[in-house]
Structure 1
Amino acid sequence: MIEATGLTKRYGPTLAVDDLSFSVSAGRVTGFLGPNGAGKSTTMRMMLGLDRPTAGDVRIGNRHYDELDHPLRTVGALLEAGWVHPNRSARNHLRWIARSNDIPDRRVDEVLGLVGLTSVAGKRAGGYSLGMQQRLGIAGALLGDPEVLLFDEPVNGLDPEGIHWIRELMHTLAGEGRTVFVSSHLLSEMAQTAQDLVVIGRGKLIYQGTTDDFVASATARTVRVRSPQLPELKQALTRREVSFDESDGALTVSGMDSDAVGELAFAAGVTLHELAPQRGSLEQAFMQLTGEAVEFHTGEPTPD
């Protein structure tokens, strides 16, 4: 479990993280979201003792990171995949890390196999593609078989197969009871990966809770209805003062759930060919709830 309390970080006059408090539970994949400049990377660096908080506290399993005897056995992290020495092989890079935490060499080959790098483990890391570097960084995070995992933009450079793989890996790790905390700008991917969210803007907490509740709180739920008796259905909805839009031979009904729409249609003697609840997307919810926290706004295109 991760617990941040009143976490604050100043760089001179710049307030990067502002009295931020949140918790990350074990057995769940928690997404860490926010606009550029929101303070996500700074927060993750403070978790790992790479930056010292100006105020507040962050603990991993009730301990500060610098209090851990063999930190890689408790916390695995991928913050920057490209920090490998270019002339060192992937295997030797991981062996070097393993020896610093008394991790046996056999674990190196285990994680190389897990991330799919066994066949290139003896090659110079400087010749790796971005996707291969990401896999090597993930191998380093897994090296100590840790209880807590922190990933910052883990799918950068990965192809669709690799993205599917890391998504399933994170679900597996959480299913084993581990704490998985992942930051990403790919909201469509986070919608499929994260069960919980911590959302920040300008260093402040905007939301903490489940992904479903975040989307539901910011976007309207509607119901799509198709019927060979649309005029009769529209009359029934109008009598109940229910709003709807019509397009492509279907109605999008607002203000009623699918059960209520189905019961209304049945009472009106209307046959339905489709009755499908619709919900907003994580991207829509994110844009709505973080709009005021965006540091850099793009301008509207100027007409010719």
Structure 2
Amino acid sequence: MLETRGLTKSYGDTMAVHDLTFTAEAGRVTGFLGPNGAGKSTTMRLLLGLDTPTAGTAHIDGRPYRELRDPLRTVGALLDATWRHPGRSARSHLRWLAATNGLPERRADEVLGLVGLDSVSKKRAGEFSLGMLQRLGIATTLLGDPKVLLFDEPVNGLDPEGVHWIRQLMHALAAEGRTVFVSSHLLPEMEQTAQDLVVIGRGRLIYQGTMKDFVERAGSRGVRVRTPHADAMRTALRERGAEFTEEANAFVVSTLDSDALGELAFTAGATLHELSPLTGSLEQAYLELTGDATEFTTGGSR
């Protein structure tokens, strides 16, 4: 489990993290979201003991990172996939880490197989593509078979097969009872991966809870109606006083639900080819909730 309580970090007059309290539970994939400059990287560094809090606490498995007896066996973290000695092979890199952490040498080959790098295990890491480096970084996080895993932008450089693989891996790790904490800017991918969310902005907590509850904050976007009898449907909608827009040979109705629209179409003699509710998305909910916390915004188009 990951836990922060009143976590605060300032750099001079700049407050990077302010009174941040959240929990990432075991057996769940928790997504960590926030605009650029929100304090996500600082928070992860504080959790890993790479920075010292100005106030508050950051605990992994009930303790500060620096008090963990076997850090690599407790927590695996991927903050920078490019961190490696370019002259070492993937196997040598992992064997060195295993040796310095009291882990069996065979573990290096096991995790290389898990991430699909066994065929290039003797290749120097300096010759790896970004996607291969991501896989090597993920292998490093798994080396100690830890209870807690932290990933920062883990799908960068991965092809579609790799993205699908890392998503399945995270689900499998959580299903084994581990805590999986992942930060990413790729909202569609996060929507398929995370079960819970922690959202911050300007160093403060904006939301903690389930993905489902967060997305539902975006609300319904209406119902899409597609029919070959557009004139009859349009007339029926106007007579009913419904609010709607037309797009791509369809109507998007914001004031009637699917049941009412089905009955209205039947009465109007309009055959339906589509009647689908348009629900909110992670992206919609995220943009609505973090709009006031975005530090860097772009101007209008030219």
Which TM-score band applies after superposition, normalised by the shorter structure? over 0.9
Mean alpha-carbon deviation: is it higher for 62-71 or for 2-11? Answer: 62-71
User: 2:160 is matched with which residue?
Assistant: 160
Asked if the contact 2:6–2:21 (Cα under 8 Å) also holds between the matched residues in 1, the reply is yes
Structure 2 letter corresponding to 1:150:
L
* 1:260-279 deviation per Cα after TM superposition (whole angstroms, max 9, x unaligned): 43345456665422111112
Question: In structure 1, what is the Cα distance between the partners aligned to 2:268 and 2:4?
Answer: 55
Mean alpha-carbon deviation: is it higher for 104-113 or for 226-235? Answer: 226-235
Moved over 6 A (4+): none
Asked if the contact 1:4–1:21 (Cα under 8 Å) also holds between the matched residues in 2, the reply is yes
* 1:129-161 deviation per Cα after TM superposition (whole angstroms, max 9, x unaligned): 111111111000011111111000101111121
Q: TM-score, normalised by structure 1?
A: 0.92
Alignment of 1:280-291 (within 5 A): 280-291=280-291
User: 1:16 is matched with which residue?
Assistant: 16
Asked if the contact 1:244–1:251 (Cα under 8 Å) also holds between the matched residues in 2, the reply is yes
Mean alpha-carbon deviation: is it higher for 11-20 or for 53-62? Answer: 53-62
Alpha-carbon deviation of 1:231?
4.3
User: 2:175 is matched with which residue?
Assistant: 175
Structure 2: 5+ residue runs without aligned partners? none
| 1:109 aligned onto 2:109 | yes
User: 1:38 is matched with which residue?
Assistant: 38
Structure 1: 5+ residue runs without aligned partners? none
RMSD: 1.9
SS in 2 for 1:218: coil
* 1:96-146 deviation per Cα after TM superposition (whole angstroms, max 9, x unaligned): 211232211111111000111111111221111111111111000011111
User: 1:6 is matched with which residue?
Assistant: 6
Asked if the contact 1:219–1:284 (Cα under 8 Å) also holds between the matched residues in 2, the reply is no
Question: In structure 2, what is the Cα distance between the partners aligned to 1:298 and 1:39?
Answer: 20
Asked if the contact 2:218–2:281 (Cα under 8 Å) also holds between the matched residues in 1, the reply is no
Question: In structure 2, what is the Cα distance between the partners aligned to 1:231 and 1:184?
Answer: 46
Q: Residues 239, 152 of structure 1: CA spacing in aligned structure 2 closer, same or farther, 3 A cutoff?
A: same
Structure 2 letter corresponding to 1:183:
S
May I ask how many residue pairs the two structures share in their alignment? 302
Question: In structure 2, what is the Cα distance between the partners aligned to 1:240 and 1:179?
Answer: 52
User: 2:90 is matched with which residue?
Assistant: 90
| 1:54 aligned onto 2:54 | yes
Q: Residues 32, 247 of structure 1: CA spacing in aligned structure 2 closer, same or farther, 3 A cutoff?
A: same
Alpha-carbon deviation of 1:223?
1.1
Asked if the contact 1:103–1:144 (Cα under 8 Å) also holds between the matched residues in 2, the reply is yes
Alpha-carbon deviation of 1:235?
4.7
Question: In structure 2, what is the Cα distance between the partners aligned to 1:260 and 1:18?
Answer: 48
User: 2:100 is matched with which residue?
Assistant: 100
SS in 1 for 2:217: helix
Question: In structure 1, what is the Cα distance between the partners aligned to 2:74 and 2:263?
Answer: 54
% same residue:
69
SS in 1 for 2:35: coil
Mean alpha-carbon deviation: is it higher for 92-101 or for 5-14? Answer: 92-101
| 1:127 aligned onto 2:133 | no
